């Protein structure tokens, strides 16, 4: 598997990406810093900050008897996170996004209210949209860009025609994503009966959080997503309100299209979408789990 190759590159066993911490298999080539060798409290605090809601790792941390073991938990947690991020950044080949998967969002956009009896519809975003913290969201001039906060699913391994009851076994973890949309371009394309791919596909149009391991999330259908612009809350919604739940989306998306390791499925946005302007500070996250922050900058479209 490609995950195994990545694990070798990072000098960490692939088991750390999907399983609990095993001190016996963790590499010994990451020494405990001398200045913190006796500061178990400092190391534990750092490990808990990195672990977040990961109850498996938190439990392992509680079992630590000394600073060296606590340091291994911290390094293992960072390794798992690095592997998950690499799964998206270096391996992912596509992003599938579902449209109109929250009733209130469909209403605010003036669309027909979706029903669970209808099959979901998908569109795609290229990997050149992917954006990590530290880089700006680029807003094409005159495009009327808007934000749409979403839960992203990261596919663990190659699959096709996944049964609903097996869906979660093919999910490696989750992301918070912002499906930036050039609303003017989308509106004009729809009026002409044309595809609106460009409206979803400009560079930087998919800001995303750090990777969240599946085991860190107790119930992905009970997550509260939120988004703020310049400190003002714009969007807040719970994944329980999805028209098509997570298992159904993996099932439908894989019916005719092969999903591959690292691919992303965006699960739709709750109500409250709105405009983004040059200089805006955009924050988004999942309550009690993860958050991220980006700055918006105008892209004039000048030749590079």
Reported residue count of the chain is 304
| Domains defined for the chain, CATH in brackets | 2-89 (no CATH), 93-299 (3.90.850.10)
- For residue 87, what pLDDT is reported? 83
Cα angle 106-138-225, degrees, rounded to a multiple of 5: 40
- For residue 107, what pLDDT is reported? 85
Would you give the DSSP letter of residue 259?
B
If you average pLDDT over every residue of the chain, what do you get? 82
**Spatial separation of the C-alpha atoms in residues 135 and 62, rounded to whole Å:** 36
**Spatial separation of the C-alpha atoms in residues 79 and 10, rounded to whole Å:** 8
Would you give the DSSP letter of residue 113?
P
CA dist 38 → 62, 68, 131 (Å): 17, 9, 39
Mean pLDDT, residues 72-90 taken together? 74
Residues 231-274: tens digit of each pLDDT: 999 999 999 999 999 999 999 999 999 999 999 999 999 999 99
Among residues 107, 131, 233, the alpha carbon closest in space to that of 180 is found at 131
Task: Give the pTM.
Answer: 0.80
- For residue 134, what pLDDT is reported? 94
**Spatial separation of the C-alpha atoms in residues 50 and 78, rounded to whole Å:** 7
**Spatial separation of the C-alpha atoms in residues 165 and 142, rounded to whole Å:** 45
Q: Is the pLDDT of residue 74 over 60?
A: yes
**Spatial separation of the C-alpha atoms in residues 282 and 144, rounded to whole Å:** 16
**Spatial separation of the C-alpha atoms in residues 113 and 106, rounded to whole Å:** 6
Q: Which residue has the higher pLDDT, 198 or 105?
A: 198
**Spatial separation of the C-alpha atoms in residues 190 and 129, rounded to whole Å:** 21
Q: Is the pLDDT of residue 20 over 80?
A: no
Q: How many CA atoms lie within 13 A of 147 on its CB side?
A: 31
Among residues 240, 222, 234, the alpha carbon closest in space to that of 287 is found at 222
What count of other Cβ atoms lies within 10 Å of the Cβ of residue 233? 11
Q: Is the pLDDT of residue 288 over 60?
A: yes
**Spatial separation of the C-alpha atoms in residues 143 and 139, rounded to whole Å:** 8
Mean pLDDT, residues 56-84 taken together? 65
Token representation of residue 44: 């534990």
């Amino acid at each position: 598997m490609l995950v195994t190759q990545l694990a070798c590159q990072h000098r960490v066993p692939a088991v750390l990406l999907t399983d609990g911490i095993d001190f016996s298999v963790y590499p010994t080539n990451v020494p405990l810093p001398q200045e913190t060798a006796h500061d178990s409290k400092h190391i534990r605090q750092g490990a808990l900050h990195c672990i977040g809601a990961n109850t498996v790792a938190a439990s392992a941390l509680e079992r630590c008897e000394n600073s060296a073991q606590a340091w291994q938990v911290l390094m293992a947690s960072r390794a798992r996170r690095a592997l998950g991020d690499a799964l998206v950044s270096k391996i992912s080949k596509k992003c599938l996004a579902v449209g109109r998967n929250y009733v209130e969002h469909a209403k605010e956009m003036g669309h027909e209210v979706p029903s669970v009896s209808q099959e979901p519809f998908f569109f795609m975003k290229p990997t050149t949209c992917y954006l990590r913290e530290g880089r700006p969201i680029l807003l094409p001039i005159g495009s009327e860009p808007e934000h749409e906060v979403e839960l992203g699913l990261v596919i663990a391994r190659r699959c096709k025609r996944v049964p609903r009851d097996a869906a979660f076994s093919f999910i490696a973890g989750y992301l918070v994503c912002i499906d930036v949309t050039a609303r003017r371009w989308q509106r004009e394309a729809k009026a002409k009966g044309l595809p609106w791919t460009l409206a979803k596909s400009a560079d930087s149009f998919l800001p995303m959080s750090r990777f969240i391991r599946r085991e860190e999330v107790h119930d992905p259908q009970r997550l509260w997503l939120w988004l703020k612009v310049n400190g003002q809350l714009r969007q807040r919604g719970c994944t329980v309100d999805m028209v098509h739940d997570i298992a159904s989306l993996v099932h439908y998306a894989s019916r005719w299209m092969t999903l591959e390791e690292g691919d992303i499925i965006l699960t739709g946005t709750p109500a409250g979408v709105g405009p983004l302007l040059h200089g805006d500070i955009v924050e988004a996250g999942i309550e009690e789990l993860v958050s991220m922050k980006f700055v918006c900058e105008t892209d004039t479209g000048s030749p590079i």
